[in-house]
Amino acid sequence: MGFARYIPIAFLVAGLVLVQQVTQHTGTTFYLTQLTMAAYYALVITGLCLLMGYAGQISLGHAGFFAIGGYIPAALTTYNLEPLREKWLVQTLDAAGLLTAGQDLYGQQVLHVHPWPSCILALLLTAGLAFVIGMPVLKLKGHYLAMATLGFGTIVYRVFLAMPLFGEADGISAVPPFPLLPGVTVSGDFAARTENYYIAFGLLIVGLLFLINLVHSRIGRAFRAIHGSEEAANAMGINTPRLKLQAFVISAVFAALAGVFLTHYNGGIGPSEASVMKSIRYVAIVAVGGMASLWGVFFMGILLNFMSLRGMFGTYDDAVFGVILILIMLFAPNGLLRLHLWQRMRRWRGVDKPKSRTE
């Protein structure tokens, strides 16, 4: 085992550099825009893969976590604190160096929260929220769990849609770039495209490494035991509620992280990011990628989002999605990349549950 599992990562990095070089030399760097966006969505999806594929818990509300991750920094970094400068809270924050002053496009004096503290706040808030709602929600099973997560997603969507602070239907625009490190900025500027392509995939690979390590550790084996049978896992002395909660919080933080970055990259966010349809998309891509297959989910996440964001399906975007969903679930319930005939035949006769397969 050992380092062998990291070899695909090396291939991936080489592939990513190759793609970037090819676009550079053929003058088609514009492909990187949608690849970058797709990478952030893939981050949500790989996180959800841990929860669904490994811990075996469905979530129809992950767009809610993504939206929280996107909306909190969007609101904080665009809300003008200048009129409130005299208030003690604003002064304390300012003294702590958490605010940035400047001028907006139209020459008005503005004072915003810096993207870093707002990003951290968003992640902490998401983790806390996932922890609090995860405890009761994850006690539910099957359809009841689906309902509870769907309900959570709907509430988040409604709240963002109803609150003037979050821009209601228009969402939030003019979100500033995120100066990650000196010289490294998450922004949608045409000039910063290549840089952002590497930021997005760098983040995604870090996330992927984390997940690969996790699923190959003791915790990962425990997850698979839960997926197989929760009662059996319990009997073996695995603390199932705690592990399920861990997976839930981790995947929520992944979603929120993607939300933070994509919002700064896009320069805005709208309520559609929190919609149930989005959550369903994430679940669908996890299913298409093969549930308990990080690599399958990763590639499907990139591919399908990339095609959708380029408008390849025209007015049939959702319809194509529906068709893919049905076809995969009917003919290749364990994912497209694992469509090996002899395995299929064997599984056809046996249990239907996807067995996680690792090298």
Chain residues 311-330 in contact with another protein, contact rule CB under 8 A: 311-312, 314-319, 321-326, 329-330
DSSP string, 273-329: GGSHHHHHHHHHHHHHHTSS-HHHHHHHHHHHHHHHHTTTTGGGHHHHHHHHHHHHH
Judged by CB under 8 A, the chain residues 182 through 211 that form the site for another protein are: 188-190
Under the binding rule (CB under 8 A), the answer on residue 86 touching another protein is: no
Cα dist. 244→50, 197, 204, 340 in Å?
10, 33, 23, 31
The one among 39, 111, 129, 150 contacting another protein by CB under 8 A? 150
| CB within 8 Å of 52: residues ≥ 6 apart | 58, 59, 283, 286, 287, 291
Q: Which of 43, 44, 48, 58 binds another protein (CB under 8 A)?
A: 58
Site for another protein contains 338 (CB under 8 A): yes
C-alpha to C-alpha distance for 23 and 30, rounded to whole angstroms:
8
CB of 277 to another protein, least distance (A): 8
15 part of the interface to another protein, by CB under 8 A: yes
> What minimum distance in Å lies between the beta carbon of 89 and another protein?
20
> What's the min distance (Å) between Cβ of 216 and another protein?
12
CB 299 within 8 A of CB 337: yes
Please tell me the distance from the alpha carbon of residue 306 to that of residue 66, in angstroms, as a whole number: 18
Which of residues 24, 91, 109, 173 is near another protein by CB under 8 A? 173
Q: Is residue 12 close enough to count as binding another protein by CB under 8 A? A: yes
Tokens 């790989």, residue located: 46
Q: How many residues bind another protein (CB under 8 A)?
A: 103
Rule CB under 8 A: say whether 140 interacts with another protein: yes
Best CA proximity match to 188, nearest among 203, 201, 172, 200: 200
CB 118 within 8 A of CB 70: no
124 binds another protein (CB under 8 A): no
CA angle 233/238/240 to nearest 5° reads 80
Tally of residues, the chain? 359
Task: Say what angle helices 115-137 and 240-266 make with each other, to 10 degrees.
Answer: 150
State which residue, 8 or 241, has the beta carbon closest to another protein: 8
Q: Tell the smallest beta-carbon distance from residue 210 to another protein (Å).
A: 17
d(CA 9, CA 7) in angstroms, rounded, equals 5
d(CA 215, CA 226): 13
- Does residue 56 bind another protein (CB under 8 A)? yes
* From candidates 25, 89, 143, 342, binder to another protein by CB under 8 A: 143
310 binds another protein (CB under 8 A): yes
The verdict on 2 binding another protein (CB under 8 A) reads no
Nearest to 299 by CA among 38, 10, 26, 52: 38
Question: Is there binding between residue 34 and another protein (CB under 8 A)?
Answer: yes
Q: What is the C-alpha separation between 252 and 269, in angstroms, rounded?
A: 18
Instruction: Give yes or no for residue 177 binding another protein (CB under 8 A).
Output: no
Rounded to a whole number of angstroms, the minimum distance from the CB of residue 102 to another protein is: 16
d(CA 241, CA 264): 35
Residue 139 touches another protein, criterion: CB under 8 A? yes
Query: Which residues, numbered 222-281, are part of the site for another protein (CB under 8 A)?
Result: 227, 230, 262, 266-273, 276, 280
> In angstroms, what is the minimal distance from the CB of 251 to another protein?
16
- Give me 20's structure tokens: 């970037």
Q: Is 100 an interacting residue with respect to another protein (CB under 8 A)?
A: no
Q: According to CB under 8 A, which residues from 277 to 306 bind another protein?
A: 280, 283-284, 287, 293, 295-296, 299, 302-303, 306
Nearest-angstrom CA–CA distance, 347 and 25: 46
Q: Is 345 in the site for another protein (CB under 8 A)?
A: no
Nearest residue (CB) to another protein, 82 versus 170: 170
Stretch that binds another protein, among 82-90, 112-120, 245-253, 346-354 (CB under 8 A): 346-354
**Which residue, 33 or 100, is less far from another protein as judged by CB?**
33
